[in-house]
């Protein structure tokens, strides 16, 4: 019985021993965690994101109240996150736009900062594995981000209870929780991007700017660029054939899905709005005979499964690149 269990046990013992021998990961992790939490830029950013999020949420709550009687009363709780009120975009948009900034802020000077402060060679001369440093920094950033995002999400949920007085259903809580998890993965992607840039560029200002450039590109320009390319390959005039219009739309979407921002936006809209039944272009005949209604959670998840896999893969890929560069980097000071 259970040869693999023995294997796992052996591996665990071995792993613990390694940990005991080095212990560097834990120490680096704890220090980075403390550094992150006490840094000024972190306080500023959390404040910014929290104000934007809570503001958007408050406006949404107001407009939901007004429209309370009119629309269908399903998923009122989730609408707190997706309803825009007047001039303010919804909570979900704010997080999608500002979340990357959180990730970038925690990592852009992770390695080159140590280099410039000349602490890297002293740190690596201690008896720790080299990857303890980058793993510890990544994990510490990830935990801080997770704490912030979960706290913000539950803060808004709690306020929502107070403001509209409609308790969430189990499914709504599940959707909210998964939404927050996906947000953590998305922000972790940006954390690993900034870690990579902190290795590629010697100046912290350069790596911060490079991170912001990539962020703006994905947030604003990637969609436009996808549209441009799609229009160039399949120009759509007023009287274009339906097949061509479909080609154009599909290509545009496929291209923009190369951007993690698009993946994240599509995934979160599907999660928080059960009315979303499909993410691609829909033909009229496909709608024939369809009964309007919302998707259950597992079907929503099925719809965005590729998005989640894509996001996780992109995060791991970028982190793997950063890991590789860090392990190959020459330590030469100055």
Residues at the interface with other proteins (CB under 8 A): 21-24, 27-28, 30-31, 35, 38-39, 117-119, 121-129, 330-334
Biggest alpha carbon distance in the chain?
71
Q: What is the Cα–Cα distance from 280 to 257, expressed in whole angstroms?
A: 11
Q: Which is nearer to other proteins, 117 or 244 (CB)?
A: 117
Structure token digits, residue 175: 């959707």
**Residue 23 vs 275, nearer CB to other proteins:** 23
Question: Is the CB of 31 or the CB of 277 nearer to other proteins?
Answer: 31
**What Rg do the C-alpha atoms of the chain give, in angstroms?**
23
* Least CB distance to other proteins at residue 170 (A): 44
Structure tokens at 327: 């392990």
d(CA 273, CA 291): 17
Tokens of 261: 């921002």
Smallest distance, Å, CB 31 to other proteins?
6
Q: 146-181: buried (b, 16+ CB within 10 Å) or exposed (e) per residue? A: bebbeebbeebbeebeebbebebeebbeebbebbbb
CB of 258 to other proteins, least distance (A): 36
Q: Which is nearer to other proteins, 129 or 177 (CB)?
A: 129
Closest approach, Cβ 213 to other proteins, in A, equals 28
| CB of residue 102 to other proteins, shortest distance in Å | 20
Looking at beta carbons, which pairs linking 120-126 to residues 24 or more positions away fall under 8 Å? 120/331, 120/333, 121/331, 121/333, 124/331, 126/24
Name residue, tokens 């399903």: 74
Within its chain, how far is the Cα of 99 from the centroid? 7
Q: Which is nearer to other proteins, 283 or 333 (CB)?
A: 333
CB of 109 to other proteins, least distance (A): 12
Q: Which lies closer to other proteins via its Cβ, residue 123 or residue 147?
A: 123
């Amino acid at each position: 019985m259970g040869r693999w269990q023995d294997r796992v046990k052996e591996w665990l013992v071995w792993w613990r021993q390694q940990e005991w021998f080095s212990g560097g990961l834990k120490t680096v992790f704890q220090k980075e965690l403390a550094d992150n939490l006490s840094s000024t830029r972190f306080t500023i950013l959390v404040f910014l994101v929290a104000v934007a999020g809570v503001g958007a949420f408050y406006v949404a709550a107001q407009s939901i109240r007004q429209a309370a009687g009119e629309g269908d009363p399903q998923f009122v709780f989730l609408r707190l996150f997706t309803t825009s009120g007047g001039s303010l975009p919804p909570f979900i948009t704010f997080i999608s736009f500002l979340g990357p900034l959180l990730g970038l802020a925690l990592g852009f000077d992770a390695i080159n900062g140590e280099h410039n402060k000349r602490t890297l060679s002293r740190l690596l001369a201690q008896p720790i594995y080299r990857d303890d440093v980058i793993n510890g920094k990544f994990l510490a950033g990830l935990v801080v981000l997770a704490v912030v995002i979960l706290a913000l999400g539950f803060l808004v949920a709690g306020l929502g209870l107070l403001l509209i007085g409609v308790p969430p259903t189990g499914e709504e809580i599940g959707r909210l929780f998964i939404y927050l998890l996906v947000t953590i993965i998305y922000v972790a992607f940006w954390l690993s991007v900034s870690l990579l840039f902190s290795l590629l560029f010697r100046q912290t200002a350069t790596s911060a700017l490079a991170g912001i450039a990539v962020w703006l590109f994905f947030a604003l320009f990637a969609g436009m660029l996808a549209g441009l390319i799609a229009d160039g390959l399949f120009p759509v005039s007023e009287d274009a054939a339906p097949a061509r219009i479909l080609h154009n739309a599909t290509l545009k979407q496929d291209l923009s899905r190369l951007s993690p921002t698009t993946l994240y936006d599509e995934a979160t809209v599907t999660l928080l709005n059960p009315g979303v039944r499909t993410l691609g272009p829909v033909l009229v005949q496909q709608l024939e005979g369809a009964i309007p209604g919302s998707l259950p959670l597992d079907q929503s998840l099925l719809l965005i499964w590729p998005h989640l896999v894509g996001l996780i893969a992109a995060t791991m890929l970028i982190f793997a690149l950063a890991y590789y560069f860090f392990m190959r980097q020459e330590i030469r000071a100055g």
